[in-house]
Amino acid sequence: MRKREILFVGCLDEKNSFAEGFSYAVDLAGMMNENIVALFVRKRKPGRPAGGGDGAPCGPEAVDGPELRGDGKYAGLRKDCRKAGIGLDAFMWDIGSALQMQEFIVARPGIDVVLLSPGITSGRRFTSGELNRFLKAASRPVVTISRQPRGAGRRKKTLAGWAEKEKKREKK
Amino acid sequence: MAFRILVAEDEEITLKHLLYVLQKEGYKADGTKNGLDALGRMEDASYDLLIADIRMPGLNGLDLLARVKRRFPETDVIIITGFASVDTAKEAIKRGAFDYITKPFDLDELIAKVRKIRGQSLLRKKNVSLKTFTGADKKISVIAKSRSMRKILETIEGIKDSDCNVLLTGESGVGKNLLAKIIHYTSPRGENPFLNINCATLSEELLASELFGHEKGAFTGAIKSKQGLVEVANSGTLFLDEIAEMSPNLQAKLLKVIEEGEFYRVGGTRPVNVDVRFVASTNQNVRRFISEGRFREDLYYRLNVMEVFIPPLRDRKDDIEPLGRYFLEKHLPRARKEISGFSKEAMKVLLDYSFPGNVRELENIIERAVILEKGPLITPESLPPEIMMYQIETVEPGRIKTMEELNREYAMKVVELLGGNRSKAAELLGISRTSLWRILREE
């Protein structure tokens, strides 16, 4: 029996943001009884040919490959999934634009939902225009995971506090 | 206000025992040994629940049930019977009993049922539509406070006498399976089989064999002939989950069954005639699939006699609180904990979250929170940390919110926060009252 899949899109190029938000993907997959397909993207540098020019393939490359096989962090992800009883297929891809992620979704019809890690939505890898174009083209619901903006809690508190103060003033 | 229960039971020991247990649980429970007296008491004071024995002097349990349901439709009734028979139970449910228990009864089971009724009664009081449909095997409850869900239930109610095929669309976890069951059990086919199959989880060959069956020797391993689900579901309903994932070959075969009520088993030479109603579901954009040539247009129109779109949970926030309470009541008995509800902060976290996994995810979150929570209320600490650590937004396929929509959403949030005071909201937002009115008018 094939399970449905959650596509988790993360980054490869920044060590700190590698698979950030992955624990959320594992949680969601567990709740939905689905597997995870992790796609680690790396933005192709301008001028670098589509195929990488150094023998790298054009399309997504399954990550049992050399780049991540021995990587401790990747092994950690696999362990997390195994512990939760969730299947994990991982791919790496040098992509020119965020829009190419839609090609991956089309190629895997079992994908139910796409999760974009904070590393992807931070705006450092893809411009917001690029991401918006992908969101428009995506054929599956896309979940954006972003870090809570600093001070957001405080802003909310201020608003709520303001409302509270107003109510009290009215009562008086 | 305390939940009031009246127990009508002629055996004194059982009555005393029941009253003791219910009062210990914190309910306000009264008792009587006579059916007529029970009716009188119901008239004197309002009770939320009546637990009545079948055999009683004065008025038997079933007659008491019928009268109570006529005069006090809001009161739920549990029937106790020492003469367990399916017929008595069926009769009781038919006359409007919520449930029945058989003697000797398990007190934990009774308490669990009372808790469930209490939860549902609270929802009703909060003007939440909770519909319970009785199926062949179990009761199916749907909670709908939002306008969109109420409308869906009305639509389903409207087609209950029809035999048309139905296509249910909506994201994963919104409850398509549940609605399919309701469509079946409320239809004239309700007494007949309801079968379901997920078309996405099986390979083409296996799905063909599961759907249409096979003859002995049709392929390696087919050591005996087998009926397919289409055949077994004869005179009932077949629910095809994730229909968009079905291969073009099978789509053609299915179309023939729908059009002619006839098919061949895999490897078979004789046609098999069936009368099956099809309910299909998908979370994909079928029109897109049709334009890409991946789904047959004729099959789509055959299945889509009636299309019901179930909106994602993030678009019907009104349902989050009642659903949360419902799941809390559902999972409490197993956890054996005393949790009475949600803290304001926890509910706010849930209301702010976009639930990509929809109702299924909400249920899991609540189930886990019930296990983790140590206090009398669900607090944010027992909710998954990720949903607070990150800002999680879901964007529907091909759709991005426009600035106007975002403005409207934000303005509505501020107005709501200020208890509907638009002047204050306009002041806070730094716009005139007219501008605010204009933004909100776009709804």
B386 closest CB neighbour out of A1, A27, A34: A27
| Calpha distance B395→A134 (Å, rounded) | 11
Among B74-78, B85-89, B247-251, the range scoring the smallest mean pLDDT is B85-89
Sort out which chain A residues have CB atoms less than 8 A from B360's CB and list them: 31-32
* Average of per-residue pLDDT across A28-55: 73
Sort out which chain B residues have CB atoms less than 8 A from A10's CB and list them: none
| Calpha distance A113→A141 (Å, rounded) | 5
**Cis amide linkage into residue B104, ω under 30° from 0:** yes
Is A28 in Cβ contact with B390 (below 8 Å)? no
Single-letter amino acid code for the residue at B127: N
Q: Is the ipTM of this complex over 0.85?
A: no
Answer whether B328's CB lies under 8 Å from B367's CB: no
* B79-136 per-position pLDDT tens digit: 887 755 667 777 777 777 888 887 777 788 888 888 888 877 776 665 555 566 655 5
Q: Give one word for B178, left, alpha or beta, with left for phi > 0 and alpha for psi -120 to 50.
A: alpha
Sign of CA dihedral B174, B178, B182, B184: positive
Place of tokens 């209301």: B351
Which phi and psi (to 5°) does residue B246 adopt? -75, 140
Answer whether B64's CB lies under 8 Å from B52's CB: yes
| Calpha distance A82→A79 (Å, rounded) | 5
Which phi and psi (to 5°) does residue B236 adopt? -120, -145
Sign of CA dihedral B363, B368, B369, B370: positive
Is A141 in Cβ contact with B390 (below 8 Å)? no
Q: Give one word for B267, left, alpha or beta, with left for phi > 0 and alpha for psi -120 to 50.
A: left
CA distance A2 to chain B (A): 4
A84/B contact by beta carbon, under 8 A: no
Q: Which CATH number fits domain A5-171: 3.40.50.740, 3.40.50.620, 3.30.70.100, 3.40.50.10860?
A: 3.40.50.620
Mutate to test the interface with A, among B395, B413, B423 (most CBs of A within 10 A): B395
Answer whether B142's CB lies under 8 Å from B157's CB: no
B285/A contact by beta carbon, under 8 A: yes
Neighbours of B322 (CB within 10 A): 22
Q: Which residues pair with B133 in a beta bridge?
A: B140
Q: Which domains does chain B have, with CATH numbers?
A: 4-125 (3.40.50.2300), 139-309 (3.40.50.300), 316-389 (1.10.8.60), 403-441 (1.10.10)
Is A163 in Cβ contact with B417 (below 8 Å)? yes
Give the pair of three-digit tokens for residue A61: 């490359």
Single-letter amino acid code for the residue at B94: K
Answer whether B122's CB lies under 8 Å from B76's CB: no
Among B31-40, B166-175, B365-374, the range scoring the smallest mean pLDDT is B31-40
| Calpha distance A91→A89 (Å, rounded) | 7
Answer whether A105's CB lies under 8 Å from A138's CB: yes
| Calpha distance B267→B225 (Å, rounded) | 10
Which residue in B51, B282, B58, B43 sits closest to B172, CA to CA?
B282
* A100-118 per-position pLDDT tens digit: 888 888 888 889 899 999 8
Q: What is the mean pLDDT of chain A?
A: 76
- Per domain, the residue ranges of chain A are 5-171
pTM over 0.90: no
Answer whether B212's CB lies under 8 Å from B253's CB: yes
* B314-349 per-position pLDDT tens digit: 989 989 998 998 899 888 888 888 888 899 899 999
Answer whether B209's CB lies under 8 Å from B266's CB: yes
